[in-house]
Structure 1
Amino acid sequence: MKFESILEEVDSLGPFQLGLIFLLCFPRIVIPCHFLLNNFITFTPPHHCDISALDDGWALRNLTPAQSLAVSLPVREDGSPQSCAMFPEPQLQLLSNDSDGARLPTVPCQNGWVYNTSIFPPSLSTEWDLVCDKKSLSQTLGTIFFLGVMVGSLIFGYLCDRYGRRSTLLVSYLVSMVFAVSSAFANSFSMFAVLRFLTGFGISGITISTLVLCIEWVNTGHRSCISVIGGLSWTIGNMLLAGLAYVVSDWRMLIVTVTAPLGVAVVSWWWIPESARWLLVKGKVEQAQFYLDRCAKVNKRPKLSSTFKLEVLSDVELSEQQNRNYSYLHLIKTPKMRRLTLISGIVWFGVACTYYCISLNISGFGLNIYLTHFIYAAIELPAKILVYFFLNMIGRRKCQSGTLLLTGLCIFINIFIPQGFWLLRTLVAILGKGLSEAAFTTAFLHTSEIFPTVVRQNALGYTSLTSRVGVSVAPLVLMLDNVWPLLAQIIVCSVAVLCGLVALLLPETLNVRLPETIDDIEGPRKTHNSTSVTESQQ
């Protein structure tokens, strides 16, 4: 007997599962807040060199503030003062209209910087002067955080299978909360970077444990629904981040604010059940029966103990254990599995890298960063809804390839739109953001349908790892703007297009029977003529 048969007896999507989903989706709101927190805590407002040391008591005394800047700082082509250079001494001749300071010698800022905080509040960058030659430090914070997420995915994935989903979830809550709040009180960049790494490490456990718990308490037919709900919790958290960042101006308090829901999550953890499927795999039959009886009671179904005996659960235990005797090596042992593994890894890298390069680049469109971030997050709602219609209309493969190719097209178009046309640039960028989110949503469903049941969890773990690599690379790609302003956009566009073309090599899974074993992959796959598969995907 399969575990899904027992779930049907106690109801595979009743009040018990809905309550569990609610309890697990609430802390998931914290995940996008920390993933995209760098957009606000490292934002650098307009700045220029501090010229107070140039005034030796008379040189600038009789000049207006605008004239003092004019004789002390070189200017850009648009007439604004340069951010990272100054004249070694006041150039009073520049006050005459026929003088040109383009060829005058300059030096790096000697006495720090002056920041324009009239519009944007002080940030981590302004507090520790992470500008000019130290600008890359603030940008690498994103990579440091995502490296923590990547390491955490590997370790918490093991802990989740070794010690259970519920226990691992509590550890993740506590680790994330402790290190996130501690980072708000860091007194140096080095300490903050280490604490951000550890915060990412802890949050990865929340991502893994909540997803697995939700999936293992519902049957196959409801898993796509669960993925939609999980995606909506991400979008809600992403939208809330823009509002919280606007209201909470201090970057340290912002970190504490977006972490606060984890305190509620720790309290609600006491009502979260362990995965009965995992308990059976580990031979803890009586504990599995306890949670299944609780599920039946909440869903107003007869208790499992009155229908099934412990011997029946033990048979399920053996069946589940047999399905778990697979490892990551089985993803590359056979030719077709190797091909699927390689292609899906490339696609996931491209999806994640493209999504985060767009999400982390919210300046330069003429709107303030709060409004841009909110619009970027809000566009994900219709994107998630529309993509699920198209998935059943044109298929998974065309959706995966099409969303990536169109995302690359939006980035390509924006390369040629002048900076002055900020409204048009913003609209194209928002469209690209929605398409990149649609690509992410498609990837989750397509991957779960491509790989066979016996290695599906391993496959999702592998693609999660490749996506974390793409996420970690994204902040580094954006740093290439310092080399050439268009270089980052060209690279992101190329990645989206190439990975979109690679996605065409994946098999179509619309109305195709889900593979159960590796032999189903290596042999011909058959079309399922009944409506059960289609219904299970909706």
Structure 2
Amino acid sequence: MAFQELLDQVGGLGKFQILQMVLIVPFLVMTACQMFLENFTTVIPGHRCWVHTLDNDTVSDNDSGILSPDTLLRIFIPLDSDLRPEKCHRFIHPQWQLLHLNGSVTNMTEPDKETCLDGWVYDQSSFPSTIVTEWDLVCNYQSQKSVVQSLFMAGMLVGGLIGGHLSDRFGRKLILRWCLLQLTVVGTSAAFVSNFHIYCLLRFLSGCSSIIILANDGMLITEWIRPPSRVMVITVISCALSVGHILLGGLAFVFREWRTLQLVVSVPFLVFFFSSRWLVESARWLIINNKPEEGLEALRKVAYTNGMQNAGDALTMENHMGRRTTQTLFMFLVGLSVLVNTFVPQEMQTLRVALASVGISCAAASVTSFSVHIFELIPTVLRARALGLETVASRCGATLAPLLMMLMEYLSILPWIIYGVSPIIAGLAVLILPETRNLPLLDTLHDVKNNKEFSRKVNEINSFVKVTKF
């Protein structure tokens, strides 16, 4: 009997699938927090050079006299073009004569300046500390802030490549549990390190774990779902990631010290590691990897949980236009919103924000549709590897996008034209792919070759495994 028929027998969206999602959704929410953690831990607060007379408590108390802090600041710190204290320079010698100037003097010699040799003073009103203030990643060292973010993305790229292979080889659940434990260890350790390079290494390892958790969570849900309900389930996954983004903002508002925030978004993964023991391995993967008895045992567990009542029959939801048409439509809208916004005057802020909102919404919808399509196009034996390659492509895109802004030196609207035209071309390319709406998931390469009949036979190199109804 084909696996899809067995899944229909035990329930394609019943109590078991709901419980599986209840266990997995928190993993997705907190993983999203890990992915965007640098939005808050690498904030660059207002800063200026440390000055002995200003910032040494003993000297300030004795020598400041009747001079206010702002007055002293004017003596020791030069002003930038916006008449604000410079962030990266200070006067070599105090400029007392500046106290007597009521206006600008054009023929005055520019006082000698130097870099912040003694460190910086930071504005702690919003964030008591960040990794920027921890390791002084400002001025000449500001580029190192980007290193942290790049290394996390590089970790996701490497994790996508390695994790996909390991998941197809050793199973979705085993690799997921390992990554949950790894993220607990490296994430928690990052909250206590005092060396910047070690912190970078730990964030790289966090990126490796995060992408594997996302991919395997998705497979452990979708490979248990009937085709009519798959869109709804993947939409829930996308919404879970969005909830994670919202939650991170709230956590960052409450826990503003970067080490505390790092700890708060890492410790829950220890709980997830223990709760993941109740997840059920994908029966598809078990059967395809010559473990039919374990696969049937998993199916029996599902049947018992669902009461053998086909609980999913009444819960169906489909994008009715099909995968290809839906993706093409939304990607066209993304491209058009970018192109139109490019030529809207800056003064029309309401219209610009509205167009940007439409573009972001359509982009999210197209990503959801794409997630459904890729799961249905790729057979079970290669699905994790394919998701790994998809991760590589997305990371390359994320890396390339900021570089395109350099083209503004030649033509100010050129990057935005590229951003607008690219999704339109990609939407047309989607039409080349086969439609998979309401079709069962492919399991083997044999199924791909015979996708017109969608045979669900399980083929091995020189043997045939027959799966029967129990």
Shorter-chain TM-score category? 0.7 to 0.9
| Deviation larger for 31-40 or 438-447 | 438-447
| 2:129 partner SS | coil
Distance 2:351 2:98 in 1: 38
* 1:469-490 Cα deviation digits (max 9, x unpaired): 223456x659x7xx99999996
The reply on whether 1:10 has 2:10 as its aligned counterpart is yes
The reply on whether 1:499 has 2:426 as its aligned counterpart is no
Match of 2:69 in 1: 65
Distance 1:397 1:218 in 2: 25
Query: Could you tell me the percent identity over the aligned residues?
Result: 30
Q: 1:166 to 1:455 in 2, by over 3 A?
A: closer
* 1:300-358 Cα deviation digits (max 9, x unpaired): 1189xxxxxxxxxxxxxxxxxxxxxxxxxxxxxxxxxxxxxxxxxxxxxxxxxxxxxxx
How far off its partner does 1:203 sit?
1.5
The reply on whether 1:173 has 2:180 as its aligned counterpart is yes
| 2:290 partner SS | coil
* 1:262-282 Cα deviation digits (max 9, x unpaired): 122112112111111111112
Pairwise CA RMSD = 4.0
| 2:274 partner SS | helix
The reply on whether 1:468 has 2:395 as its aligned counterpart is yes
Q: 1:452 to 1:205 in 2, by over 3 A?
A: closer
Q: 1:59 to 1:116 in 2, by over 3 A?
A: same
| Deviation larger for 514-523 or 392-401 | 514-523
Question: In the alignment, is the contact (CA less than 8 A) between 2:46 and 2:123 conserved in 1?
Answer: yes
The reply on whether 1:297 has 2:304 as its aligned counterpart is yes
Q: 1:106 pairs with 99, 113, 116, which one?
A: 113
Distance 1:202 1:457 in 2: 14
The reply on whether 1:395 has 2:326 as its aligned counterpart is yes
Q: 1:36 to 1:127 in 2, by over 3 A?
A: same
Match of 1:222 in 2: 229
| Deviation larger for 121-130 or 260-269 | 260-269
Question: In the alignment, is the contact (CA less than 8 A) between 1:49 and 1:83 conserved in 2?
Answer: yes
How far off its partner does 1:166 sit?
1.2
Match of 1:94 in 2: 98
Q: What one-letter code is carried by the residue in structure 1 that aligns with 2:93?
A: E
How far off its partner does 1:107 sit?
2.0
* 1:456-508 Cα deviation digits (max 9, x unpaired): 6654442222012223456x659x7xx99999996863552232232243143
Q: 1:201 to 1:459 in 2, by over 3 A?
A: closer
Distance 2:371 2:296 in 1: 31
The reply on whether 1:144 has 2:151 as its aligned counterpart is yes
Distance 1:273 1:520 in 2: 24
Question: In the alignment, is the contact (CA less than 8 A) between 1:395 and 1:510 conserved in 2?
Answer: no
Question: In the alignment, is the contact (CA less than 8 A) between 1:147 and 1:472 conserved in 2?
Answer: no
Match of 1:440 in 2: 367
* 1:141-173 Cα deviation digits (max 9, x unpaired): 111011111111111111111111111111011
Alignment of 1:407-418 (within 5 A): 407=338, 409-410=340-341, 412=342, 417=346
Question: In the alignment, is the contact (CA less than 8 A) between 2:187 and 2:206 conserved in 1?
Answer: yes
Q: 1:188 to 1:477 in 2, by over 3 A?
A: farther
How far off its partner does 1:71 sit?
2.4
Question: In the alignment, is the contact (CA less than 8 A) between 1:16 and 1:299 conserved in 2?
Answer: yes
The reply on whether 1:208 has 2:208 as its aligned counterpart is no
Distance 1:484 1:87 in 2: 37
| Deviation larger for 207-216 or 491-500 | 491-500
How far off its partner does 1:432 sit?
5.0
Question: In the alignment, is the contact (CA less than 8 A) between 1:400 and 1:443 conserved in 2?
Answer: no
Distance 2:172 2:132 in 1: 38
Question: In the alignment, is the contact (CA less than 8 A) between 2:230 and 2:372 conserved in 1?
Answer: no
Gaps of 5+ in 2: 311-317, 453-470
Q: What one-letter code is carried by the residue in structure 2 that aligns with 1:399?
A: F
Match of 1:117 in 2: 124
Match of 1:42 in 2: 42
Distance 2:447 2:10 in 1: 30
Distance 1:520 1:298 in 2: 29
Q: 1:130 to 1:98 in 2, by over 3 A?
A: same
TM-score (norm 2): 0.80
Gaps of 5+ in 1: 304-386, 526-538
Distance 2:128 2:185 in 1: 26
Distance 1:488 1:73 in 2: 37
Match of 1:307 in 2: none
Q: What one-letter code is carried by the residue in structure 2 that aligns with 1:417?
A: Q
Distance 1:158 1:48 in 2: 49
How far off its partner does 1:102 sit?
9.0
Distance 2:73 2:109 in 1: 15
Distance 1:424 1:229 in 2: 30
Question: In the alignment, is the contact (CA less than 8 A) between 2:288 and 2:381 conserved in 1?
Answer: no
Question: In the alignment, is the contact (CA less than 8 A) between 1:93 and 1:99 conserved in 2?
Answer: no
How far off its partner does 1:181 sit?
0.3
Distance 2:169 2:381 in 1: 18
Question: In the alignment, is the contact (CA less than 8 A) between 1:407 and 1:436 conserved in 2?
Answer: no
Alignment of 1:219-368 (within 5 A): 219-301=226-308
Higher fraction of helix: 1
How far off its partner does 1:94 sit?
2.2
Query: Which structure has more RCO (C-alpha within 8 Å, separation ≥ 6)?
Result: 2
The reply on whether 1:406 has 2:337 as its aligned counterpart is yes
* Aligned positions, number: 435
Match of 2:431 in 1: 508
| 1:17 partner SS | helix
Distance 1:91 1:500 in 2: 56
Q: 2:203 pairs with 168, 180, 196, which one?
A: 196
| Deviation larger for 450-459 or 145-154 | 450-459
| 2:429 partner SS | coil
Distance 1:263 1:104 in 2: 57
| Deviation larger for 4-13 or 449-458 | 449-458
How far off its partner does 1:261 sit?
2.3
Match of 2:52 in 1: 52
